[in-house]
């Protein structure tokens, strides 16, 4: 796995300065633009094309907070591709009532009830996003590996719970 943080010269972190990421992207775009290497050997052209592609992929990942979070979790070995993560039972029990209400709305549409449920889901998401922001800030501010390890596990759990909420929001959006 390519280390986009290293490629951009950044320390791995959940919170990055968006302007710095953009500036680095443009700097490397100028440096590795394939047109500047048109007269070079095919090997050099291939190398530059790979670096240009790497720059584009790094920017797409590091400039998007959700992508950056998943990428950093994967880079640190905490998140695996196609992982079958089991959400905490307490969370699933809390979500059962909301899911049942969404299913009821599929059979008996009611815009007012749908609005109430959207508000509930938004409130849950806001609470989780605030918790996530606090955890990622703590992670970025500490150098203690043991503390970071525990924080990564908590961030991973929130990552999956937020993905679950996104699916709920998609189901709610289908009700319109």
pLDDT band at 176, cuts 50/70/90?
A: low
**Prediction pTM value:** 0.87
Query: How many whole angstroms separate alpha carbon 119 and alpha carbon 101?
Result: 13
* Cβ atoms of 61 and 48 closer than 8 Å: no
Query: How many whole angstroms separate alpha carbon 25 and alpha carbon 51?
Result: 11
Averaged pLDDT, 31-47: 90
CATH (one of 1.10.287.110, 1.25.40.10, 3.20.20.70, 1.20.950.20) for 4-75: 1.10.287.110
Query: How many whole angstroms separate alpha carbon 158 and alpha carbon 174?
Result: 24
Stronger pLDDT, 173 or 129, i.e. the higher one: 129
Domains of the chain by residue range = 4-75, 89-173
Query: How many whole angstroms separate alpha carbon 171 and alpha carbon 71?
Result: 26
81-92 residue pLDDT tens: 888 999 999 999
pLDDT band at 143, cuts 50/70/90?
A: very high
Q: Judge: domain 89-173, CATH 1.10.3210.
A: no
Query: Which of these, 78, 54, 70, lies nearest to 14 by C-alpha position?
Result: 70
168: number of Cβ within 10 Å: 19
Residues 6+ apart with CB under 8 A from 17: none
Query: How many whole angstroms separate alpha carbon 39 and alpha carbon 24?
Result: 25
20-57 burial: b if 16+ Cβ within 10 Å, else e: ebeebbeebeeebeeeebeeeeeeeeeebeebbeebee
pLDDT band at 162, cuts 50/70/90?
A: very high
Query: How many whole angstroms separate alpha carbon 142 and alpha carbon 140?
Result: 6
State the pLDDT at residue 82.
84
Query: How many whole angstroms separate alpha carbon 86 and alpha carbon 129?
Result: 20
91-140 residue pLDDT tens: 999 899 999 999 999 899 899 999 999 999 999 999 999 999 999 999 99
- On the question of a common fold for 4-75 and 89-173, the answer reads no
């Amino acid at each position: 796995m390519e280390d986009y943080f290293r490629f951009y010269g950044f320390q791995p972190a959940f919170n990055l300065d968006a302007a710095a990421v953009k500036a680095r992207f443009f700097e490397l775009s100028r440096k590795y633009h394939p047109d500047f290497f048109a007269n070079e050997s095919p090997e050099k052209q291939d190398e530059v094309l790979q670096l240009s592609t790497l720059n584009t992929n790094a920017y797409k990942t590091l400039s998007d907070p959700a992508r950056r979070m998943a990428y950093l979790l994967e880079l640190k070995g905490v998140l695996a591709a196609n992982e079958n993560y089991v959400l905490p039972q307490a969370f699933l029990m809390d979500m059962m009532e909301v899911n049942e209400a969404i299913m009821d709305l599929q059979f008996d549409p009611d815009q007012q009830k749908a609005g109430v449920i959207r508000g509930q889901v938004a409130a849950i998401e806001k609470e989780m996003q605030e918790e996530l922001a606090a955890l990622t800030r703590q992670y970025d501010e500490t150098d203690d590996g043991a503390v970071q390890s525990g924080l990564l596990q908590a961030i991973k759990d929130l990552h999956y719970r937020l993905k679950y909420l996104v699916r709920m929001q998609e189901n709610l959006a289908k009700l319109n």
